[in-house]
Amino acid sequence: MIKVNEIFYSIQGEGSNSGLPCVFVRLTYCNLRCTYCDTGYAFYEGREMPLEDIISEVKKYKCRLVEITGGEPLVQSESLELMKRLCDDGFDVMLETGGSLPVKDVDERVKIIMDFKCPSSGMEKKNLYENIEHLKKTDEIKFVIGNREDYEWTKQKMEEYNLPDKCEILFSVVFGELEPVELVNWILEDKLDVRFQLQLHKYIWHPETKGV
Ligand code: SF4
């Protein structure tokens, strides 16, 4: 059984699959408390579901792309089995994780999007950098940047861990905290080898809309 907050069908708003229709399985619980969190409703709310029921529900949407998100999906160890079974059933599975829990046992077929936490999140000390060695070229590391201090910190981490050689690096702004144009200008000034992204769903729908 896994506690599920919501299952919904929408457009992937982030990363290299941005713009593609996707089924989202949002699992309950998170071990972090980021200052800018917009999914606090997933900390405790949800219903216990057998894996079979989750998979049946996902299949109803007839969509190959599935993202397991949260909260923090890896808080519930059964999420590993859920991802494996979805892969076995032929889905393209993505995992959105905060990077504070080990990813070494995640099925190799899963595309991991690891959201390392910058200082303004208040959760920077929770980052588990050992996770980097378990990432594949096709995975992504995301930094959500809220100010110049976050940006400088991120550049330093990219250099320290040689991140652009490991996988794709995504830069995003903390919505409402940093203007996208500022971050884009910094990236261009420094000629960084990263992909800038906007959270598409926050522009398509009202930023506080749930289930998109
Ligand atoms: S990791 Fe995600 S869900 Fe958890 S507190 Fe941070 S932003 Fe919210």
Of all protein residues, whose CA lies closest to atom 7 belonging to ligand 1? 37
Q: 143 has which bridge partners?
A: 116, 171
Residue 162: what pLDDT?
A: 96
Give yes or no for a cis peptide into 40 (omega within 30° of 0): no
- Report, as an integer, the average pLDDT of 159-179: 95
CA atoms of 90 and 107, how far apart (whole Å): 13
pTM beyond cutoff 0.85: yes
- The DSSP secondary structure of 78-115, one letter per residue, reads HHHHHHHHHHHTT-EEEEEE-SSS--TTS-TTSEEEEE
Q: Where are the domains of the chain?
A: 2-204
Single-letter code of the amino acid located at 24: F
Is the C-beta atom of 30 inside 6 A of ligand 1?
Answer: yes
66 neighbors 91 (Cβ within 8 angstroms):
yes
CATH node for 2-204? 3.20.20.70
Question: Cα of 33 to ligand 1 centre, how many Å?
Answer: 6
Give pLDDT tens digits for 129-154.
Answer: 999 999 999 999 999 999 999 999 99
**pLDDT of 44 higher than 90:** yes
Residue 88: what pLDDT?
A: 98
Q: Which two tokens stand for residue 2?
A: 């896994």
Residue 209: what pLDDT?
A: 78
Give pLDDT tens digits for 193-212.
Answer: 999 998 888 888 877 777 77
Burial 143-161 (b: 16+ CB within 10 A, else e): bbbbbeebbebbbebbeee
Question: Cα of 173 to ligand 1 centre, how many Å?
Answer: 15
CA atoms of 113 and 15, how far apart (whole Å): 8
Range name among 48-62, 96-110, 193-207 with the lowest pLDDT average: 193-207
Residue 160: what pLDDT?
A: 97
Residue 58: what pLDDT?
A: 98
- Report, as an integer, the average pLDDT of 14-20: 92
Residue 123: what pLDDT?
A: 98
Is the C-beta atom of 34 inside 6 A of ligand 1?
Answer: yes
